[in-house]
A and B are shown apart, each in its own frame.
Chain A
């Protein structure tokens, strides 16, 4: 089992460009999450999907959109990137919302 995979690992964008971060899990988990990690801020929840077909805003959703494509895949889209979105993005999944979450390796995004 690969667990949670994310692509790409690194990305540099110019302000205003768009991109989609991909996440997939092979553990048959129901819930999936997107976080951003900034120094001294811990992990902050951007969006989550409690189950296939549902998505909900987290703590910092502005400037992002998500798609739960199927049970395995949960993508995060930046429509018009801003320097404030420079961060490390982690995808995670859990069997159910109150279980432990398993994290992917992260995407380091720089917006110039």
Chain B
């Protein structure tokens, strides 16, 4: 079955610390990859996406992600987090031509001032 795995469901950091969230998927074909963020009480917003080209993708608010095809991974990073980055982060994968976006279970990130 197709699946998306996110590890370390709960992450607690201090401001200025670096953040890395892992995402692995089990699809064998061409994929489009996404990271979404959900701030407390809000709906999901797109942080960044990868369709093709440079595997290092830069998104909003200083986030970036790296697609490593050989590892079926799309890890999210931010060098220095802020309190306002407190949110839940979801990795999502769609198999090209499938029309069904599969989500990981999310990472709850809390940044302590």
Contact = CB atoms under 8 A, between A and B. Distances in A.
Nearest to B31: A98
Contact of B97 (A44, A45, A98, A100): A98
Q: How large is the interface on A (under 10, 10 to 19, 20 to 34, 35 or more residues)?
A: 20 to 34
A2 B106 CA distance: 27
A24 B99 CA distance: 19
Interface string A47-88: 010100000101000000000000000000000000000000
B96 interface: yes
Question: Which among B90, B94, B104 has the greatest number of chain A C-beta atoms within 10 A?
Answer: B94
Interface stretch (B14-22, B40-48, B64-72): B40-48
B12 interface: no
A32 to B, nearest CB: 11
A10 to B, nearest CB: 12
Given A40-B9, A43-B103, A48-B100, A100 B90 contact: no
Interface string B15-43: 00000000000000000101010000011
Given A98-B32, A100-B46, A104-B43, A40 B101 contact: no
Nearest to B100: A45
Contacts, number: 51
Contacts of B102: 45
B103 A90 contact: no
Interface string B39-83: 000111110010000000000000000000000000000000000
Interface of B: 9, 32, 34, 36, 42-46, 49, 90, 94, 96-106
8 closest Cβ pairs, A-B complex: A97-B99, A42-B105, A42-B103, A103-B44, A43-B103, A103-B43, A105-B43, A50-B99
